[in-house]
Amino acid sequence: MTISKILCALLLISSHAMAFVGAGLHWGFDFSTALDDTETAWGNSLGESTDLDFLADLGISQDNLGDFADLHPAYISIANFERSPINFGGKVYVDPPLVPFAVELSMNFGTWLYDGSISYINPEEILAYGGDSPRDDLYEELVLDDGSYFGIDETPYGKLHLDLTIKRDMRLPIISPQIGIGPSLHFETPVLSADLIEDAVGDIDDLQELVQSNPSAARDDILDEITDGAKEPKMGMHFLLGLSVSPPVIPLGVYVDGKYHVVFNNDDYETDTNGLLLNAGLQIGF
């Protein structure tokens, strides 16, 4: 009986310790990304927000419009930023049995959505304009949604981040608490802005012409600029607390971990990516 107990104990220890390398797949719940609602006057990067030169084709004298451009800027609106159900990732790790630390490389990709739109003046509506005060009824709205980015019906936002973690694994039989720290690299799709629209279709004059002739093309060009282009990556760091459960002999296990991300260059108008990420998944060790 004593020998069998010793053998069982050795089996428990050796089966856990022999996991030199492993890999896992997980589902994530990312609470680290936020974007405030805004309604921003469009003009700083594009010059005048309403280009009155476009009115010449309609035979309208700019002299009769007074301060029309100043009274009726185009607007970019962002509202109701929230997570979508999509957030997944994976990891690979090296965990030598005689070394107190393990090295893990992991990634997560997640999507978010928000109500993004552009409010602009329809030049044809200016024919009815006869005063020098703002008129909300002259505006038209271009809503930026089409459902082509992972099935998201609103304006999409995507983020991919890579984490390199040095972690301490307690290596208890079956259950293993973990703590770690390491650098992170974040890749994001751009958020709707005047600069983004200028890259996609040109200035406000170009946008007005395109919207008049083919509004769906204007929307698609802007959405393509959002979904196809990732901004410059952001460097950061993260702290990890986790727990894995690996039954003896069987190489499969489950794990959960929480990471708090701190992004270093997150100081301009964009998403705030500091915060908590939770993962739960399955792993296999060899």
- What residue type is 47 in one-letter code? G
Which pLDDT band, with edges at 50, 70 and 90, does 94 fall under? very high
Task: Please indicate whether residue 255 or residue 67 has the higher confidence score (pLDDT).
Answer: 255
**Per-residue pLDDT reduced to its tens digit, 130-145:** 555 556 667 778 888 8
88 or 270, greater pLDDT: 88
Rounded to an integer, the average pLDDT of 177-189 is: 94
pLDDT score of 123:
60
Any idea which residue has 């044809």 for tokens? 124
Tokens of 282: 């399955």
- Average pLDDT, rounded, for the chain: 78
Confidence of residue 46 (pLDDT cuts 50, 70, 90): very low
Q: pLDDT grade, residue 11 (50/70/90)?
A: very low
- E strand or H helix that includes residue 9: helix 2-17
Q: Mean pLDDT over residues 22-26, rounded?
A: 96
Please give the domain boundaries of the chain with CATH numbers for all domains. 2-285 (2.40.160.20)
Nearest to 253 by CA among 7, 88, 13, 15: 15
pLDDT at 5: 56
Distances (CA, A) of 56 to 50, 93, 254, 275: 13, 65, 67, 51
CB 50 within 8 A of CB 121: yes
Please give the pLDDT value at position 3: 61
- Residue bearing the bigger pLDDT, 223 or 209: 223
- For 61, 137, 166, 210, 281, the CA distances from 122, given in Å and listed in that order, are 16, 10, 57, 11, 51
Q: Tell me the pLDDT tens digit for each residue of 234-251.
A: 899 999 999 999 887 788
User: For residue 156, what pLDDT is reported?
Assistant: 92
Q: How far is CA 259 from the centre of its chain?
A: 17
Q: Let me know: does 162 contact 106? Beta carbons within 8 Å.
A: yes
Q: In terms of DSSP H, where are the helices of the chain?
A: 2-17, 68-71, 194-201, 204-213, 215-228
> For the ranges 91-100, 139-148, 256-265, 270-279, which has the lowest average pLDDT?
139-148
The angle subtended at Cα 175 by Cα 172 and Cα 179, nearest 5°, is 80
Q: Is the pLDDT of residue 10 over 60?
A: no
* DSSP 3-state of 65: coil
pLDDT at 145: 86
- According to DSSP, residue 45 is labeled T
Q: Which amino acid is at 160?
A: L
Number of H-type helices and E-type strands within the chain: 5, 10
More confident: 49 or 204: 204
At residue 19 the predicted structure's pLDDT band, cuts being 50, 70 and 90, is low
The rounded distance, in Å, linking the Cα atoms of 275 and 263 is 9
With a cut of 70, say whether residue 162 has pLDDT above it.
Answer: yes
The pLDDT of 61-81, averaged and rounded, is: 67
pLDDT the model gives residue 213: 72
